[in-house]
Amino acid sequence: MPDKKTASYVQSICMGEIEEEIIVPFPEMAEGEKETLGQVLASVRQLLGGREKEFREWDTKAEMPGAFIEELRQFGLFGLVIPEAHGGIGFGSTAYSRVLQEIAKFDGSVALTVGAHSSIGMRGLLLFGTDAQKARWMPKLTTGELIAAFCLTEPGAGSDAAAVRTTARRDGNDWILNGEKIWITNGGMADFFTVFAKTPDVQTGGKAALTAFVVTRDMPGVSTGPHEDKMGIRASSTTTVRMDEVRVPGDHVLGGVGQGFKAAMKILNSGRTGLGGGAVGGMKRLISLSAKQAVERQQFGRPISEFGMIKEKVGVMVVDAYASESVVSMVAGLIDQGYEDYAVEAAISKVFATEALWRTSDEALQIAGGNGYMREFPYEKAMRDSRINRIFEGTNEILRLFIALSAMNDVGQQLKELASVVKSGVADPIKGFGVLSGYARKRASLATGLVGERRSFTLLVPEVKKAATVVEEGTRDVALAADRILRKHGGKVVGKQFATHRLADILIDLFVLSTVLSRVNSAVENKGAEGAAQELAILEIFAGRARRRMRSNLNRIDDNDDELVKLVADHAFEKEGYSWDTI
């Protein structure tokens, strides 16, 4: 069985190995939690159903009424992940993600308000808080008396968390914080802030280390700016948060002094299933709207649902939603099962689900035609609301870089070991021969496509064999590609973003396909091939399209126009614009 402390399905793929026990069978929620979840979902529907007109009004006014926030409190939606010992519901990642999915079916701003509180705002306290800290703040966070916000982003520090300029200097047992955070969700209504600041007297690699602090609104020097006028999710609160000589007691440090960067990454990784769940909920709603529109809308004497191009749009929307739901549920299941190294998988779920939602919102608006562009219909708001998901909680560009570099880490370590063995082989020829011959055998096995240990699936039903073969072949190909990229670029690979982007996209397709494969396999086991016919069709569609995308990306690792694209871009940067005209 895999070691839950170190096992990573995607990193294993990059090494040419399929650790199927990690993903098969598809994760199932415990019956007791499922029953509680059903009750919470019913409450969500009761609270949010029939309020579309209000949601549209709040979007126009760019505000969420205080009376509605009080309703969220009364329905217990701020205590979803807080342990029962502190008054919360104590949901795991799977159940929590499913609740955010349900909320997002009704309104993105409401989903974001609840999600920012639990996914990231108070997540640091949940993950790193001491017993005393949890006892002090969690009961009020559960009831919503305290609403939480996550304060990392600054004017010069978006994706580059190391560029944070907010500082914390020691003053006896206290810390004095100074700085400003921007684009803070829940900023205008929060009373509990998880703030990241540089602590100059604690160094990491010669630089001031980040530390996470709990800051509360009642501390002198804490202030928030006006509500930001946003493109989408307009009713959610987004403000600046400023700290001027804010005195923070020493017992407000979360996770240890100097451990803030690790804490921030762990919080974001842990909370990504909430964002993914919201994306899935948005897709399900848009599919329902599109299907109804296509059946009811008549053109040329028949419903537009009968036209091939409309069928293609809706069919692909369904496949995207099923795949997104599969990967988000798989990552949540891994977390609930106690796996600790899921950062790459969580990043993949965020990238795939948010981009699938964007495609779905675009196609849903297109199916609605002119009505889709009108504000009285829900499509344009759904599109505006969905656009932010590819930006916040890690831009998809940065996450692609993270996916590729993290997944290649073990390959790099193996090549480093190989290099050191070559250098020391004369001194220790027996050890050197062992490492070299082992690596040579692995390379030969991958290159020839021979089936070896952990090169193929053994736990799947025959009905999914064709899709399983796509994963097996893709695993072999991506391992060889990762090896080739690292050999070619070595330590400079961080700057080779065209190559890492392609590798990341291959890994995204492989992992998402693996989760769909596992889910459909379980469906066939539970319902039989006939009962799972639609899901088998979805699997075949996704596998075929993923295979073509992977093949294209693999081919372009060596045969591409990257240097020409960079040349054209540099010309635009130099001229600060487009240089040509037809007159």
Active-site entry in 102, 393, 463, 535: 393
Which parts of 210-342 fold into alpha helices (H)?
Answer: 260-296, 308-336
- Verify whether residue 393 is a known catalytic residue: yes
What are the structure tokens assigned to 156, written together? Answer: 């010069």
Tell me how far apart the alpha carbons of residues 476 and 486 are, in angstroms, rounded to a whole number: 16
**What φ, ψ does residue 457 adopt, rounded to 5°?**
-80, 145
What are the structure tokens assigned to 487, written together? Answer: 């050999």
Tell me how far apart the alpha carbons of residues 109 and 130 are, in angstroms, rounded to a whole number: 32
Tell me how far apart the alpha carbons of residues 2 and 334 are, in angstroms, rounded to a whole number: 12
Beta-bridged to residue 223, according to DSSP, are 242
Beta-bridged to residue 248, according to DSSP, are 175
Tell me how far apart the alpha carbons of residues 47 and 502 are, in angstroms, rounded to a whole number: 44
> Helix or strand or coil: residue 79?
coil
> Helix or strand or coil: residue 249?
strand
Tell me how far apart the alpha carbons of residues 197 and 243 are, in angstroms, rounded to a whole number: 11
Tell me how far apart the alpha carbons of residues 329 and 519 are, in angstroms, rounded to a whole number: 10
Q: Give the H or E element holding residue 247.
A: strand 238-249
Tell me how far apart the alpha carbons of residues 553 and 549 are, in angstroms, rounded to a whole number: 6
> Contact, 214 vs 38, CB < 8 A?
no
- Enumerate residues 6+ apart whose C-beta is below 8 A from 318: 287, 538
Q: Catalytic residues, which ones?
A: 393
